[in-house]
Structure 1
Amino acid sequence: MLRTAAPLALFLFCLPVTGTSQDSPVELKLHWEPGMAYLQESDTETTNFLTSLGKATDQKLRLHQTTSITVSKTSAEMTEAKVLITALLGEMSFEGKNYVFDSRNPASSSPQLQQAFGGSAGKGFTLVYDAKGNFVDAKDIGSMVTGDVEPDLTSIATARQLATLYRRSLEMGLPKIPVSPGDKWISDEIVPFPQAGTVQVKLNAKFDGIVDREGHRQAQIAFEGTMKSKPDKDSTGRDLETERPVTFGENSKVNGHVFFDLERKTISLAVFSAAIQLKVEGKPMPVHQQVTTRLISMKPVTAAPETVKP
């Protein structure tokens, strides 16, 4: 179940902004600024309840991931955000033993985690947006594809799913139109997950208000909802009889909070918590996961690279 422990998004003390009009609608749309380099850190804690499958103990996994996003503008007025996993630390406890992984020193890592995460650091992809900031496509996924002369088709599909999952996780709970404090909306998305296939994520979200956080005006959003597997579809929209080794049960639930920086037009902090009812080869297995993602810095690309301590 190591590979099912994937990515995202919070809690921080905030002070209300005084003297600010909270009646005017604001656009909460993710924006990548050309010429800037973003640095993110994500902490994921996952518990796979393997005792439900007859194992003696459950499995607990903690991951700390550092991700850089370098943004540029193309001659065709497209914006490209190059996403790169720069470092990954992992720790797993299972059957009374602890296993560790450090991408900076893979030789000292446990073979179990080395197999699962050894190839993650240094891998990435590029997200492409049009002149209006709308997502167009993901490219440069070659580093995540296995196979040399003949690339593995399954890994190509998985790489695209991971790129999509990353982008969707950043946008989770954000409204499609401008909103005002107190507004509520429903987000209903179909998201591809590696191994699990297409999953419907339906959220009830609310704009709690505008706060001052780290010297910036930020919109605070809360959401809760459900996740469940949906049939894959062909190019005509018809359901496919695809058998998946892992599926999301009907009663899988998710909740979270997001702080959207109104000045920098990006997520500064997000916490995603899920109680997932997985079915592994037809057998139920609960999974609890929390992912916290923080914006560490946003600097011009010419700035010296920043060193992040684990």
Structure 2
Amino acid sequence: MKILIGIPTYSNSRFGYTIRQTLEALVNQSFKDFRVLVVYKPSPGDRTLDVVDEFKDKLDIEVKIQSDGYFEEALNMIYEVAKDYDITLTTDDDATPTKTWIEEHIKFHKNHEKIGIAQGIVIPSRNYCYESWYLPRSLIGYHKPLLKELNDYSTIVNDMGLLACKGKWRDYRFNNRGYVLSIEIRGVNMSLKSRSYIDGFALPGYTKRGLHNETLLALHYVRQGLHSALFNGGIVNHLKRDSLSRPRSPISRFMTTLESHLLPYGIYYYGFKLNMRKLKLYYGVIDLYSKFRKTLLSKTYAIGLKLAIEAISSDYEPSEVRSKLLEIEKNAKARYE
């Protein structure tokens, strides 16, 4: 069985060379027969290549240079290689997998033929099932799944193309199966059955930070008759630091929230049929709410949904959506920084 470990990295020097801890954790894995692929986008002062050189005699490791693009393009480089492997695991350059991480992911896939994508435990955990806007969501039928295949999922994509939670987010730790089906997967601790399943898949390139890229990948697997799940094992410790998906600056947090609400466009781009009437109605409710409450969060939701609807209605190319996203970020920085 051929195993690939994919790690995208950018500007690691700013954060104390955390990729060294990631690679040290891979050296100490109980399962030894795997290849590491680091997708590296150069930045001033970055010492990633120097750190990787320290592990050339300890790991079967390769570096691919990312010359352009953002996070989605980095992941696409990993997926292109993954088609030649049986199982691919991904993690971040600020994560430290525990000793049996690879072993437990492989065992899970062997024991569950119909699960194509799996996420293990991430420490610290994050509650993705905290939902705001309870009243408008209840009135609009927010929790109707996009696909009937998602009926038994704890976290779903609804028929508007947005994430929604149907169950308790920690059910997988307590049920008899040791896992729960979920469309919301975190790439910091993800594994997937590769080969023909991943062959031909590519993220569209409409974001900067790659928000919900895992959800798009999971839907690709659902189309092929497989499921995605969270399972009680394969622990990864995720270091607390400023990063693309966990930013600390107000502008970056604003953009992360905005980008997450572009998910309907990504799902539309892959040919899934959305309930646009409901999505526009939901946007109208959120937009009205934002005018009364005048909170940054509500305004951000509204801006993100508005751009998603515009992109779908005008049939934008992914590059057009990204350009508009970057323009919003540029204007926000000019105004508030």
Structures share a fold, TM > 0.5? no
- Name the TM-score class by shorter chain: under 0.3
Scaled by the length of structure 1, what TM-score is found? 0.24
More strand by share: 1
Scaled by the length of structure 2, what TM-score is found? 0.23
Higher RCO (CA-CA < 8 Å; seq separation 6+) = 1
More helix by share: 2
